[in-house]
Amino acid sequence: MPPQKPSKTKRASAGPRAGAERSQTANAPEQGPQRLQKILAAAGVASRRKAEELITQGRVQVNKETVSTLGAKADPQHDDIRVDGKRVHAVETFRYFMLNKPKGFVTTTSDPEGRPTIMEFFARIPLRLYPVGRLDYLSDGLLLVTNDGGLMQKLTHASSHVPKTYLVKVSGVPAEDALNRLRRGVSIPLGKPGSNEGRVKTAPARIRTFREGDNPWYEVTLTEGRNRQLRKMFEHVGHHVEKIRRIAYGPLTLDVEPGEVRELTPIEVRALQRAATAKAPDRSDAGERTEGKQARPALAAKKFLRAGIRSAGRPRR
C-alpha cells in the first residue's frame, strides 16, 4: 500500500483548531545581543556544537566581517548575519506543532532518495520548521515540529532524559526474563546495520503489557533516542518488532489522527520547556517499579482507543 499522502484538510494551517491557537502559541525569541552559536541554533542553521565549528572555521560573517572567535555576540534583529554568504534570518515568533506521523514518511526536511518527508504536512506554513528527533520510516505517532532551535536542541540532547512512550507490537511472546533484561538495559549496536560503530548499553526502560496475544503489544517508555533503538532492543532478546507507534513525548499525549497537525497550546509549550530542563530522575530501578501499574500514557492510550481515533486504533492480534 502506498504511503498516506497529506490531504488539504490535514495540513497545519487548514484546521480551525490550529488557526484559533496560533496567536496564543506565538512566543517571542530573546531580544538584544546574543552569542552567535545561540543565534544560529535558534534559527535552525545547526546545533550549538556545529555552530561553534562553523564559527571557528571562519564561515560566519557579521555585518560583512568574518567572526571566528567563540563568545562573539550579535543582534539577530539588526545585524546582518551570514553563514557561507547566506543570510541567517531572525526568528520573529516561535511556533510548536504536534504531528501524528503516518508510516511511509521520513522525519527529515528533505530526502536524497526522493521519499515523502513529514514537511509535506507543513507546506502551507511559511516558516523554516524542523522535526524534534526522529521516527523512522516504518514507525508512526507523535512527532514535534518547531522553529525554536533552542528548545529543539534541549529536548534532543542526551542529557535531557525527556521520556518518550511507545506502543510496540512484537512477533511472539517474550519471556518475562527477557523483558526484565530490557528493563535493566541491554547492549545494542550503534548506528545503522553493518556500520561497525561499536555497541552501547541502553538506559533502563519502563515496559508493561498493553495488549496480550500471540503477537502482543507493549507500552515502552525510553529516556533516550538511539537509532532504531526499540527494534534493536527486542531483536537482542530474539523478537522482531512489527509496529511502533509513539503515543507520548514528555508531558504531551497523542490526540490527533494520522496525518493531522495541531498547534500546541501555551500551557503545553511551557510544560515542554520545563521537561527539557528538568533534572534527570533516578532510574536505577525504573523498569521494575512500573510493571503492572497504569501509567498516565497507558490510560491516555486506552481512552484514545475507545474514542476510535485511527492513530492508535485497536491493534489486531
What is the set of active-site residues? 136
Residue 32 identity:
G
Rg of the Cα atoms in the chain: 21
The beta strands (E) that lie in the chain are given as 34-35, 60-62, 65-67, 73-74, 81-83, 86-87, 96-101, 130-132, 140-146, 164-170, 187-189, 199-201, 206-211, 217-222, 241-249, 252-253, 261-263
Among candidates 247, 263, 223, which has minimal Cα distance to 300? 247
**Alpha carbon distance 187, 201 (integer Å):** 4
Looking at residue 9, the DSSP 8-state letter turns out to be G
Phi-psi region of 292 (alpha: psi -120 to 50; beta: other; left: phi over 0): left
**For residues 191, 194, 197 and 201, what is the CA-based torsion angle, rounded to 10 degrees?**
60
Residue keyed to cell 518475562: 176
Longest dimension (CA), the chain: 65
73-74 and 261-263 beta bridge pairing? unpaired
Instruction: Tell me if residue 60 falls in helix, strand or coil.
Output: strand
- Distances, alpha carbon 70 to alpha carbons 38, 85, 208, 220, 273, in Å: 11, 19, 47, 41, 26
The beta strands (E) that lie in 224-297 are given as 241-249, 252-253, 261-263
**CB-count burial class (<10 Å; 0-12, 13-18, 19+) for 33:** middle
Looking at residue 147, the DSSP 8-state letter turns out to be S
